[in-house]
Structure 1
Amino acid sequence: MRKNLFLRLFLLIALSISLYSCIHDDMSSAADPVSKEYTNKSLWKEDEKYIRNVRKVFDQYADKNYFSGKYGNVLWDYALTMGTFDESFLEVPISRNGKINSVLTAERRGDRVFFKIRNEKSSNDFFDVLVSKDRSQLKGNIISGNGDGISSKTTCYTVTVTWTWTSETTGEVIDSYVFTKTRCTSTDPVLTEPTTPSDCLEEDCTGGGTGGGGYPYTETQTDPCEKMKEQNSNQAFKDKVAEMDKKDVFDKDEETGFAAAYGTHPFEPLANTANDNLKFPPGNKYFGYIHTHLDSKEGVIKIFSPADVFTFLTGCVRNAETNGTMADAYGMVITSQGNYILKYSGDGNYGIGTNTKDNWQSWYEDEYVKIMNEDGTFSQNKVEKLFTRFLVEKVKIDGLELYKSDKTTGNTERLEYNATNMAVQTTTCP
């Protein structure tokens, strides 16, 4: 028993050291303005890309104190895009004193988005049920189509929520209520009205600082799945991954790594430092990296370290923002237990303080020690679960995404932490 205890203490020390033994650079930026991530709580599949983009516009231009004082709190999780997936229209309820008293609409016209406040009893009642009633008591459906007497150039969407009230003791249905919303959109071009929104995000109603009304709308970065599909077809990238994804590379005494660069030389070696780190070459042309985590050392986590995440965000993303597009940026770790990729699909509106990496490191060490096996190994499913939780609970940067790459095909799937059932949710890239 004493021998096993000594072994475990030794492995804990090795773990602490190994967590630092990864990629790093010396870049940092301002403190991070963290905002709550959007979570779909409607009864239907929504145009989440449009919802996230509109929310970014709102967060940038809205005078939050003025808006909440005049209207209430915007419940983005319940935003409804009415079955459309063309980034054109949404409605989102506004809550005041636990009641839905108005609805914020956002309509996109070209490169502008126009906000309006609606105060209609039917809309308020619809969203009040959607927000306030127990999910188990709700059923919903959405129908797309053109009804009688409606122009063929118009598409209509009807959304229905049925609330069923049952007895807690007998389960008998006591009563039920049906709430519907219908919205019709013309397929003809929309005329841009030279007016400001009927209600304002700001107290002075500047409409985003322009005379034409509305607020500037910027689309989200290119889908990471599309970028990785393009990357997987690049022979230089495939050759580099194949060169590193080998047992003899995992058994080395030092990590192997390469920096991906803009220009004529796509990959340059990362230098090994005295403290077992890998360091980028000087310059800002590097938008990505590929590196290994070893099998030859005890306690090495077979996924990204906090230093890897820090370098990706402060180096790769920022360099790509300057010299290309942030969708180019990636970080990749190749291990015997799986190959993982970091991507960023946000708008770059984040900052990382000087103590951030140390705070991440402390959390990371404390939590990974808890899942270490007695022999110093880790179950990879637990490693993935904890790392995805780390991104959600500690890093908290909207748009930072983790993918796992199949060692044979190179096909990728996104790994996300589901806080509701405390499990890893996977989504295969098409």
Structure 2
Amino acid sequence: MPNFPVRNNPCEKIKVQRTDTEFNNKITDLEGKTNLKKETGYIQKWGGDYVYKDNAGSTNNANTLSLPSVETNTYIKGFIHTHVNNYKFLDDQGYETDKNGIKMFSPADIAYFMDLVKNAKETGQPLNDVYGIMVSNLGNYQIRFTGNEYQIKTFTDAQKEAHRKPFEDFMTRNGIKMQQI
């Protein structure tokens, strides 16, 4: 890991964040929701407030959580969301089928995170305070931006779509059945 000053050290920022009771309450709440059949989560505003989000789409093939548009909601500092546990469902022919929850950040999660970083730059907020967290039954994972303003990468819809197929291929190679993400 690069030698960052403590105030910019992502590990130190995470340690400080983990001492916040409200933050820990949100994580605990979401850890208790990984058995749901849809994703849920929170956004955190730059002022510190958290807002619960459960406007998720869920099909037998995919789970999505709609978070506020970054472009028009410049108050978002970070997000915490679940990726659901594996479960069984009856398919269209009445056969029991496995639905496997993805236990890593999706391309859509990364694109949203990078949009938050871009937004932080444009609104004068510290880039390294932006975060994304994925909560699952296999563990909780956090991403932080450690680059500079010239390393911010955002994605067009076409670029986001281009990441979809390699992601699906990776998941399939690793034994996760997927029809659509």
Of the candidates 8, 17, 25, which is equivalent to residue 239 of structure 1? 25
Q: Structure 1: which 5+ runs fail to align?
A: 1-46, 51-218, 378-430
The 5 A counterparts of 1:6-405 are 49=3, 222-246=8-32, 249-263=33-47, 266-274=49-57, 276-281=63-68, 283-297=73-87, 298-314=99-115, 316-321=116-121, 322-349=123-150, 350-354=152-156, 355-372=158-175, 376=177
What secondary structure, in the 3-state scheme, does the structure 2 residue paired with 1:277 have? Answer: strand
Whose strand proportion is higher, 1 or 2? 1
Gap change, CA 1:227 and 1:348, over 3 Å in 2: same
Count of residues in correspondence between the two structures:
156
Gap change, CA 1:233 and 1:296, over 3 Å in 2: same
Mapped contact 2:111–2:160 kept (Cα < 8 A)? yes
Identity across matched positions, percent: 28
Task: Kindly state the Cα deviation for residue 318 of structure 1 after the two structures are TM-superposed.
Answer: 2.2
Runs of 4+ displaced beyond 6 Å: none
Separation in 1, partners of 2:81, 2:108: 13
Mapped contact 2:39–2:56 kept (Cα < 8 A)? no
Mapped contact 2:42–2:50 kept (Cα < 8 A)? yes
User: Which of the pair has the greater relative contact order for Cα pairs under 8 Å at 6+ separation?
Assistant: 2
Task: Kindly state the Cα deviation for residue 363 of structure 1 after the two structures are TM-superposed.
Answer: 0.8
What secondary structure, in the 3-state scheme, does the structure 2 residue paired with 1:361 have? Answer: helix
Letter in 1 for 2:141: Y
Task: Kindly state the Cα deviation for residue 370 of structure 1 after the two structures are TM-superposed.
Answer: 0.8
Match of 2:96 in 1: none
Separation in 1, partners of 2:34, 2:57: 19
Mapped contact 1:250–1:296 kept (Cα < 8 A)? no
Match of 1:8 in 2: none
Separation in 1, partners of 2:141, 2:128: 17
Mapped contact 1:293–1:334 kept (Cα < 8 A)? yes
Q: Structure 2: which 5+ runs fail to align?
A: 88-98
What secondary structure, in the 3-state scheme, does the structure 2 residue paired with 1:327 have? Answer: helix
Separation in 2, partners of 1:351, 1:48: 20
Gap change, CA 1:237 and 1:252, over 3 Å in 2: same
Mapped contact 2:111–2:155 kept (Cα < 8 A)? no
Task: Kindly state the Cα deviation for residue 361 of structure 1 after the two structures are TM-superposed.
Answer: 1.3
Letter in 2 for 1:352: T
